[in-house]
Amino acid sequence: MKILVTGNKGYIGSVLAPMLIKKGYEVLGYDIGYFENCLLHPFDENYTHIRKDIRDIEKEDVEGVYAVIHLAGLSNDPLGELAPGLTEEINLHGTLKLAEFAKSAGVKRFIYSSSQSMYGISNTDSELDEDDSEKNAITAYAKTKWEAECTLMKMQSSNFKVVAFRPSTVFGVSPRLRCDIVYNNLVACAYTTGKIEILSDGTPWRPVVHVKDVCQAFIAGLEAPSELVGGKAFNVGIPDGNYTVRNLAEAAQRSVPGSELVFLNEHADPRSYRVSFKRILSELKDYYKPEWDLDKGGKELVTYFDKVNFTEDNFRGKTCNRLAQLEFLQSSQVINNQLRFNV
């Protein structure tokens, strides 16, 4: 069974593709390659790959595919603000073009990697569910994720099932590690500097989930009966998976004993939200069984840092920070201001 994974050379895709192959699926990758070389160790990707911009997707790219797992896009809120117009072009219009071709080519399932960023600034007195809670997207990234999700759901038919997974902020080891996401950032900062630098006052709420658990959710979208997933959105996380930034910092401190908490109060990310995971934990309980918590993930990160001789240059440099990598590609004239590769 052939599965098209867009964004297979990103942070999540680099974990998902091997998991799919291990389960016996045939993986077809589709990725433009912005972050292809953002590796801290050699990584074997022995499967078919299409190196192409999602804006240039064609019907022939999805022919013979059973399901699409769509991860490709400008991948977080700060990156999306780099060029809001391009964020819309890539994350929204590219997504819908892919879905239209997938549906016409006979693809059976379209699994969309959405985002909890659509909840934005929310009342943290209660946990937000998928359907009834207000969406308060405040960034270009979040707005495109929400608009794409709404439009995709309208495309569903009896032969084309759409499911959206809204992961919490992801953490954990990947061959293409990111240190620009909160828990990875805190643990990496502690490991390389002995300090845990917290930009806010530590009070905002941020749900988090391990990258392997996110991949398990996507696989559940493939394997669960269509009546359980079709036309639905799922918040992806773990039981009691809502934390304040201070909670996350204290967990990072446990992972790197002796590290010091430093509250900089330099930049207050306005996002704060607590999310309900009741739907995925109950309705997909036979298919989604998360295995990772903060302490287990923190230990995994530290073990990996030891293995690759991780340094502060790695932590702060372009290899582990997506915006810095794109800015490097632009300044080096490898890509142009439309984020297309110069020929």
Q: Does residue 115 register a pLDDT over 80?
A: yes
Distances (CA, A) of 115 to 49, 51, 120, 199, 233: 25, 25, 10, 22, 10
> Quick one: what percent of the chain has pLDDT higher than 90?
86
For position 20, what pLDDT does the model report?
A: 98
Greater model confidence, 284 or 134:
284
330 in helix, strand or coil? helix
pLDDT tier, 39 (very low <50, low <70, confident <90, very high otherwise): very high
pLDDT of residue 18: 98
Encoded tokens for 243: 């934390």
pLDDT average, residue stretch 254-270 = 85
**How much is the average pLDDT of 184-207?**
93
pLDDT of residue 267: 63
pLDDT of residue 121: 78
Contact between 228 and 284 under an 8 Å Cβ cutoff? The reply is: yes
Mean pLDDT of 286-290: 98
Each residue of 71-101: pLDDT tens digit? 999 887 666 666 788 999 999 999 999 999 9
Helix (H, G, I), strand (E, B) or coil at 92: helix
Report the DSSP pairing between strands 169-171 and 48-51.
unpaired
Phi, psi of 177 (to 5 degrees): -60, 145
pLDDT over threshold 80, residue 268: no
- Distance in angstroms (rounded) separating the CA atoms of residues 301 and 267: 25
Structure tokens at 133: 């809670």
Residues in contact with 61: Cβ distance below 8 Å, sequence separation at least 6, in sequence order: 4, 30, 50, 52, 101
Cβ-based neighbour number of residue 137 at 10 Å: 19
Tens digits of per-residue pLDDT, 150-186?
999 999 999 999 999 999 999 999 999 999 999 999 9
In the numeric block, the tokens 């499911």 are attached to 163
Q: What's the CA gap between 30 and 7, in Å, rounded?
A: 6
Find out whether 239 and 282 touch, Cβ atoms under 8 Å.
no
pLDDT at residue number 138: 85
Rounded CA-CA distance 178/29 in Å is 20
Within 8 A by CB and 6+ apart from 341, the residues are 32, 33, 334, 335
Please give the model's pTM, rounded to 2 decimal places.
Answer: 0.96
Name 233's bridge partners: 164
Per-residue pLDDT at 329: 95
Report percent pLDDT > 70 for the chain. Answer: 97
Encoded tokens for 248: 């996350």
Q: Bridge-partner residues for 209, per DSSP?
A: 170
Report whether pLDDT(270) > 80. Answer: no
Q: Give the tens place of pLDDT for each residue, 217-257.
A: 999 999 999 999 999 999 999 999 999 999 999 999 999 99
Pairing mode, if any, of strands 26-31 and 48-51?
parallel
Q: What domains appear along the chain, each with residue ranges and CATH number?
A: 2-177+207-242+272-292 (3.40.50.720)
